[in-house]
Amino acid sequence: MTGAITLGRLFAQPGVAAPLRDAAIAWQEGVISSVSTGAPAADSGLIGLPAMVDAHSHARGLHHLAFGAKDQTFELWRVALYAHPPVDPYLNALLAFGRLARAGVGTVMHVYSSIFVNRLASDAEAIARAARDVGIRLAFAIPLRDTRSLGYGDDEELLARHPPEDRETIRKTWLYDFPSPNAYMALVRDIAARIEGPTVNVVLAPNSPQACTDALLEATAAEAAAMARPIQTHLLETAIQREWADATYPDGGFIRHLAKLGLLSPRFSGAHGVWLRPDECALMAEHGASIVVNTSSNLRLRSGIAPVSDYLEAGMRFGVGVDSFGIDDDDDILREMRVMHWLHSLDRLPRRLTHGGLFEAAHRNGFRACTGREGYGVVAPGAPADLLVLDWAAMSHDLIEGMQDEMEVLLTRAASRHVKHLFVAGRQVVREGKVVGIDLEAVEREVLGQARAAGQKMRALRPVMDRSMEALGSFYGEGTHAGRRPVG
């Protein structure tokens, strides 16, 4: 794609250098060919920077609350995901990707959560088509798991804790047969052959280490090394996961166990990492592994606040993810960055998150986690023509000239409503705040219509889910997941 734009201000290196004034940017074949200043036709009301990267998302067009998954402790909340109504995977992804594009996201790591392995390849094709139709870059993370579907314990033992009248429904709805590690890797290769291209790549995604046997994790590590594929898994997201990990690996430790399996490398990113300890951060940094911080999700699911100061101290890379769980259910990565900036730049912290560190996370580190490629996050010749353009005039309408710099305004006020244009690989994806080429409102109406048509079935399942949450709450409350046994 060939094109050009002029801007009143351009953050060519956001967080590192002051914005350029009256900047003209040109690109050819999806790559920036020139950047110059002094452009006479520059629009002073626009400010540009590299497009954002959402390095951990589940790309759910239907928000969790819509189908009854209220915010609560993660291990109980996840039960409600099984009540997700049947929705066309293409439309669901189209809606999710359209929202992300409208919020300024040019690249997304979509960690797919379907339990239906038999249709995973066809779903992947539909989802990749949705990403191409919207125009964003897609890292499609193929879900892998082969143990512990219900929680951090043996499935049959956990099933026995549920009321007898619910067990058959749970078995049919929650539990399913897993492929062997070799069959999973063959599926990964098949999906890659079907969907990969210039803006789509495949990622290996063990759901979480506690949901995978060592054999599956070893196969994942070997496949990633052989094919140079990224890996992403949910990692030590909650206090309950921390307790399980400490009880299961009391000697060498959980993260060291993953390293021994060959999982940790520069290709590896762990989502959340809220309960990582300083020595574990150091070990991950030693292997070049990274974390994706999901601030709003961690708050909403009562998981806690990621120890970003420890990440910085260890020299461990980290990215930014919205996790389909924005603070206002709006997938707004600009607001996500603001909350992250507030929490991790406190004066009392041993190592504070700087502006440069924040944008390195949101750009370079996130892009690396998604694609395995370095160097993203600058607007310069040779860089991808992925450009986010914001309405500077709206953000700065009340400023007294010379009293605030652009970065402070950006971090204090920028939100998805300020997105004017988005270009990805030189293609215009958003124009004047609207996603180009699709009717996003019509897509949302269709998705909601499909979801509500399944309402009766979903409402019938809700009492089963409520009782399941109660049974699992008892299991975790007793500490059984951590090796403790109830007295009496």
Three-state secondary structure call for residue 391: strand
Interaxial angle between packed helices 455-477 and 164-173, expressed in degrees from 0 to 180 and rounded to the nearest 10: 110
Instruction: Check whether residue 226 and residue 317 sit in a common domain.
Output: yes
Q: How many distinct structural domains can be found in the chain?
A: 2
Three-state secondary structure call for residue 399: coil
Q: Are 259 and 289 in contact (CB under 8 A)?
A: no
First to last CA, the chain: 70
Q: Which domain holds residue 251?
A: 52-371
Q: Are 23 and 9 in contact (CB under 8 A)?
A: yes
Instruction: Check whether residue 216 and residue 336 sit in a common domain.
Output: yes
Instruction: Check whether residue 395 and residue 249 sit in a common domain.
Output: no
User: Using the 8-state DSSP alphabet, how is residue 197 labeled?
Assistant: B
In the numeric block, the tokens 């370079």 are attached to 364
**Would 453 be classed as within a structural domain?**
no
Q: Mind listing the pLDDT tens digit of every residue in the chain (488 residues)?
A: 799 999 999 999 999 999 999 999 999 999 999 999 987 766 779 999 999 999 999 999 989 888 888 999 999 999 988 878 889 999 999 999 999 999 999 999 999 988 789 999 999 999 999 999 999 999 999 999 999 999 999 999 999 999 999 999 999 888 888 999 999 999 999 999 999 999 999 999 999 999 999 999 999 999 999 999 999 999 999 999 999 999 999 998 999 999 999 999 999 999 999 999 999 999 999 999 999 999 999 999 999 999 999 999 999 999 999 999 999 998 999 999 999 999 999 988 899 999 999 999 999 999 999 999 999 999 999 999 999 999 999 999 999 988 889 999 999 999 999 999 999 999 999 999 999 989 999 999 999 999 999 999 889 999 999 999 999 999 999 999 988 765 44
- CA–CA separation, 345 and 37 (whole Å): 32
Instruction: Check whether residue 18 and residue 73 sit in a common domain.
Output: no
Instruction: Check whether residue 116 and residue 248 sit in a common domain.
Output: yes
**Would 126 be classed as within a structural domain?**
yes
Q: Are 358 and 336 in contact (CB under 8 A)?
A: no
Instruction: Check whether residue 268 and residue 393 sit in a common domain.
Output: no
Residue 68 pLDDT: 86
**Would 57 be classed as within a structural domain?**
yes
Instruction: Check whether residue 170 and residue 29 sit in a common domain.
Output: no
**The amino acid at 202:** V
**Would 300 be classed as within a structural domain?**
yes
- CA–CA separation, 226 and 88 (whole Å): 34
276: phi then psi, degrees, rounded to nearest 5? -70, 145
Q: The domain spanning residue 130 has which CATH number?
A: 3.20.20.140
Q: Output the pTM of the full model.
A: 0.96
Final residue belonging to a domain, choices 339, 371, 403? 371
Q: Are 5 and 387 in contact (CB under 8 A)?
A: yes
Final residue belonging to a domain, choices 404, 420, 440? 440
Residue 225's contacts (CB-CB under 8 Å, 6 or more residues apart) are 262, 265, 267
Final residue belonging to a domain, choices 319, 347, 371? 371
**Would 487 be classed as within a structural domain?**
no
